Structure 1
Amino acid sequence: MSPREPIHLTNGRRPGGSDGTGEPILLLHPFMMSSYVWTDVAQQLADTGRYEVFAPSMAGHNGGPRNRSWILDSKTLADHVERQLDALGWDTAHVVGNSLGGWVAFELERRGRARTLTGIAPAGGWHRWSPVKYEIVGKFVAGLPVWLTARLLGERSLRLPGVRAAATVPISATPRGVTEVQLQEILDDVTHCPAYYQLLIKALLMPGLMELTETSVPTHLVVCERDRVLPHPRFSNHFRKHIPDIEKVTELDGVGHIPMFEAPQRVADLIIEWVDAHTPPVRQVEAGA
């Protein structure tokens, strides 16, 4: 499979370049995934005709730039995304991030690049020595055998007993939440992700999101009922405690850590509702004015 291309849609189709139409929405993917996770949601947002949607693959992930260092952190990821926003001519956007993408979304908000922020099961909700940080790192280290099997055997690994069930644990509530085609695409992302070890090494050395008290834009925290990677409430308490006057917390029932596969319409709807609620109405020009 070829490296992922960024998803860039306006009025339901890919534009030749940014034409400035519609509210800009930036979608940021989870750890080890790529822009692919947003395929259905991005299309549904663009089909409304009211938004311009951009979903890149971040550095160290499938389709993103290579990182020249042995370590990778959220600031480096945000640097790359910010350069792409500049290329699009977007000073700010409605930023939506899932898991690692949520962590990077908060970093972009700190830099003044967010109009609103939606964190879907965001990562980074810990201090330097928080037990939950070591728990999440341990979960991804425990997945090393599945990652190595996928690297060695490619799509053939999906035919091995138990691999499908193990592979979907960090993604969906049940193995049925991901189709065969989606699982093959996910496998391609996972096996083309040098960020796997680069980010885990850095995560052991750095704190999580420490500037949440400075968050100043409307913020929507979305938690997933059957999230087995960052289960609520242990991994969401940090956000609820430190974000000043958090406007909204939504729990998506019956979905796992990456709900865009299981419930793309529900995810699109909550983004639409949030963005529309925080977008000034367009002034209608009176006839003959």
Structure 2
Amino acid sequence: MTAMPESPGLEMHRGGGGSPLVLLHGINMTWKIWRPVVPALEEQHTVLAPTLAGHLGGPGLVAGAHGIGPVADAVEEMLDRQGIDRAHLVGNSLGGWVACELAQRGRAMSVVAFSPAGAWDTRAAQQRIVRLMRLTRRSAQWSSTRNLMSRPGLRRAALGLALERGDLIPNDVALQMVEETRACLLLEGLLRWIDQHGSIDRFDIDSACPVRLVWPVADRTIPYEPYGRVYRDLIPHAELVPLRGVGHVPMYDDPRLVSRTILEFTARVPAASAGTTT
């Protein structure tokens, strides 16, 4: 395993009660992007929301560690420290990719993946994703970006790739997202990994593990065509659910819809299969 050991200062949320549910955020973000849905989820589950390795407040990465393997390692180590064998895994974008990686390691009771990253079937589709990630990183460095975030209309435009209603995000949250993007250390290594390896070509997820792939119809970052279609091929037993009225990062666009999409799926899993918590 290549993630650096956790320290007491690392950011992770834990709350609620019931079977364990882990929230995994997307690239450049932190666990805080899940805040709008945490209260509803905690009514049914013990919710753990770590900040992923290589992100602001998350575990560091050993030099030369590329790809999502080290990120998944750090989440797995967190589960071990928390005394959890298996959990419901909920991820968005990069977090959805990590959730599927952990599922094939046997750590999932179920998986709900919102627009998971990492799969495509053409070089052009790969290059498009790489360009978007680099553009997001560059734009966070622009001195004008913080000013754009201070006005709802401009904020909606600036966040349009990620959210359908960026104007609904409070100004302080939008500014925090800019700082998180600036501080992300995973991106360049991940892009090198993508350049070397290309798309995911297989997932060995047990068909007994329920998987729900959730794709916003208005996703402008990782649209279902072609990216989601490839994921369907990689996980043939997965259920596909389209979401309307939300963007790639849907938690602020419609928290109730996102919470309901998660909870109605986790409710199907028998309590007897719940992971151990301490």
TM-score bin (small chain): 0.7 to 0.9
- Mapped to 1, the partners of 2:64 and 2:227 lie a distance apart of 27
* TM-score of the superposed pair, with normalisation by structure 1: 0.83
2:163 alignment counterpart: 172
- Equivalent residues in 2 for 1:233-248 (5 A)? 233-246=225-238, 248=239
Deviation per CA, 1:19-38, whole angstroms, max 9, x where unpaired?
A: xxx11101100010110011
SS in structure 1 opposite 2:140? helix
**1:185 Cα deviation after fit:** 2.1
**1:240 Cα deviation after fit:** 1.4
2:215 alignment counterpart: 223
- Supply the AA of the counterpart residue of 1:23: S
Residue 188 of structure 1 pairs with residue 199 of structure 2: no
Question: Do 1:168 and 1:178's aligned partners in 2 also have CA atoms closer than 8 Å?
Answer: no
1:66 alignment counterpart: 60
2:263 alignment counterpart: 272
- Equivalent residues in 2 for 1:96-245 (5 A)? 96-126=90-120, 130-149=123-142, 155-156=146-147, 158=149, 164-165=155-156, 167-212=158-203, 214-216=205-207, 217-245=209-237
1:251 alignment counterpart: 242
User: Which sections of structure 2, spanning at least 5 residues, go unmatched?
Assistant: 1-8, 274-278
Number of residues of Structure 1 aligned to a counterpart in Structure 2: 264
**1:106 Cα deviation after fit:** 0.8
Distance change >3 Å, CA 280–CA 159, structure 1 → 2:
closer
Question: Do 2:103 and 2:205's aligned partners in 1 also have CA atoms closer than 8 Å?
Answer: no
**1:76 Cα deviation after fit:** 0.7
- Supply the AA of the counterpart residue of 1:180: N
- Supply the AA of the counterpart residue of 2:247: G
- Mapped to 2, the partners of 1:154 and 1:146 lie a distance apart of 7
2:28 alignment counterpart: 32
- Mapped to 2, the partners of 1:179 and 1:42 lie a distance apart of 17
Deviation per CA, 1:130-186, whole angstroms, max 9, x where unpaired?
A: 43222101111233431221xx578456359x9635530232114324232321221
Distance change >3 Å, CA 30–CA 83, structure 1 → 2:
same
Greater Cα offset, 195-204 or 223-232? 195-204
Distance change >3 Å, CA 41–CA 274, structure 1 → 2:
same
Question: Do 1:91 and 1:113's aligned partners in 2 also have CA atoms closer than 8 Å?
Answer: yes
Larger radius of gyration: 1
Deviation per CA, 1:226-252, whole angstroms, max 9, x where unpaired?
A: 111101231101111231322x21111
- Mapped to 1, the partners of 2:185 and 2:116 lie a distance apart of 21
Distance change >3 Å, CA 36–CA 114, structure 1 → 2:
same
**1:121 Cα deviation after fit:** 0.4
Q: CA RMSD in A?
A: 2.5
* TM-score of the superposed pair, with normalisation by structure 2: 0.86
Question: Do 1:212 and 1:239's aligned partners in 2 also have CA atoms closer than 8 Å?
Answer: no
- Mapped to 2, the partners of 1:71 and 1:165 lie a distance apart of 35
2:16 alignment counterpart: 10
Distance change >3 Å, CA 215–CA 137, structure 1 → 2:
farther
Greater Cα offset, 137-146 or 90-99? 137-146
SS in structure 1 opposite 2:149? helix
Question: Do 1:71 and 1:202's aligned partners in 2 also have CA atoms closer than 8 Å?
Answer: no
